[in-house]
Structure 1
Amino acid sequence: MQSVAHDAAGLRRFVLHLPAGHDERVASAPFCVTQWYFDDLERLEAALQPGGAIQAAADSIAATVDECTLLQQAMAVRKFPTPHASDTHDERCTYLVSYEGEAHDFNAWLTHYLTHHPPLMTQLPGIRELEIYTRIDYRSALKHTRATAMQRNKVVFDDVASLDAALASPVRARMKADFDSFPPYSGATPHYPMHSIYGNLTRE
């Protein structure tokens, strides 16, 4: 899959996530998640057309994994600086979060979330990356079901032990208190620890 990503025109970054850890959070985790980062929506849509890189990768997964259900979603990326950021990495541990329901007032929700939650999240001990995603409209020739998550997040750490230490820190309690003050929202919010492998997209 990484070799397919390497040839995708306009792709800036590729990450493969596989389930990590051995607790109840992993039991229902997706068997894999791929992230394809494009600066240009037109380049992303081209990769989603017949013969495109993402189309080829999706076909490869469907052919090798029995009875898998593939989902697709294009999202805008908001990246936040973290105190322990590092550009040198091949593998990490990522905590993926999905808000799969709907806020009663999405503008109020997003305004509160982006104002109050990232400043807390960046205080998590050992955090390497923080990204928040919101859905966008896009063209795709993939036949796979479109996911409709209202918002997704990811926080990245060196390994599972670092993630567990962050989740046990006092910062997590402050995040929970802020979560309880969010504008009205209804729906599932699954959290998955994942082992993340970063593709090498260095090009001449």
Structure 2
Amino acid sequence: MTLSYIVFFTADDPAARVSDGDRAAVRSVLQSVPGLMSARLYTPQTASDLYNDDGHSPVFGFQLEFDAIEALEAAVGANGPLQALAAPGALPSLSGAEATQQAMLVRRFAVPEPAPLSPQACSYVVHYPGPAADTNAWLSHYIHHHPPIMRRFPGVRELEILTRIDWIDAMPWRRVHHLQRNRILFDSADALEAALHSPVRHEMRADFGDFPPYEGGNFHYPVATEEVMPGR
């Protein structure tokens, strides 16, 4: 079982960016988190979608992977290493941004041509705040119907769907409890845009029309994706 701890920083200014120094500080902290399997850092990227335009992407984000809830909760506990990133002034370039956090269960799906992250790797991250009228029915439909379509996107390298769990933390960042998140990975923003303009995108939209009732809409953001491995 894989668990993710996800943090996104959002700012009203579409030109806001995390500084190189702050990114280096995040990398430094993450490389020594006990129990951390891997991490992805996310920064804004641009790619058009035939059906969605949800505005500028979050100014910064990261997704941390653990194989046990105990390791995740220790990392975000009162004495956990991630407290260093939330201390006042720790990340100056993000001082005007709001941070949200959520721990989730990860379901991964095989894709025809998986590949390691390229230097220009780009993810499409999606979240559904919810709620659904019937959570079980909604997730059952999505997980059984959407991934078989998504995996046919040309050039897709990774595909994952994340669902809610309960977790304990002592971080000052605002908790969110989104119904679901998704992430698909491509070699570049151009490759993502080509996929989002392919015939598969129309199939995705058709299945969207069959979703069981839910509220909260959905939000789609392209993000440049960097991998950080502990100890490297």
TM-score bracket for the superposition, by shorter chain length: over 0.9
Is it true that 1:131 corresponds to 2:160 in the alignment? yes
Match of 1:9 among 12, 34, 42: 34
**Aligned partners of 1:89 and 1:198 also within 8 Å:** no
Mapping 1:100-111, distance limit 5 Å? 100-111=129-140
Amino acid corresponding to residue 27 of structure 2 in structure 1: Q
Mapping 1:175-190, distance limit 5 Å? 175-190=204-219
**Secondary structure, aligned partner of 1:8:** coil
The TM-score, its normalising length taken from structure 2, stands at 0.82
| Percent identity between the two aligned chains | 41
Match of 1:160 among 166, 170, 189: 189
Stretches of structure 2 lacking an aligned partner (at least 5 in a row)? 1-25
Q: Aligned equivalents of 1:88 and 1:167: distance in 2?
A: 19
* Cα separation, partners in 2 of 1:27 and 1:183, compared to 1, 3 Å: closer
* Cα separation, partners in 2 of 1:30 and 1:99, compared to 1, 3 Å: same
Matched residue, 2:102: 73
Match of 1:43 among 71, 75, 87: 71
Is it true that 1:55 corresponds to 2:83 in the alignment? yes
Q: Aligned equivalents of 1:90 and 1:182: distance in 2?
A: 35
Match of 1:82 among 105, 108, 111: 111
Match of 1:30 among 58, 69, 90: 58
| Higher-helix-fraction structure | 1
**Secondary structure, aligned partner of 1:74:** strand
* Cα separation, partners in 2 of 1:97 and 1:28, compared to 1, 3 Å: same
The TM-score, its normalising length taken from structure 1, stands at 0.92
State the shift of 1:28 in Å: 3.2
Q: Aligned equivalents of 1:135 and 1:198: distance in 2?
A: 23
Amino acid corresponding to residue 30 of structure 2 in structure 1: A
Stretches of structure 1 lacking an aligned partner (at least 5 in a row)? none
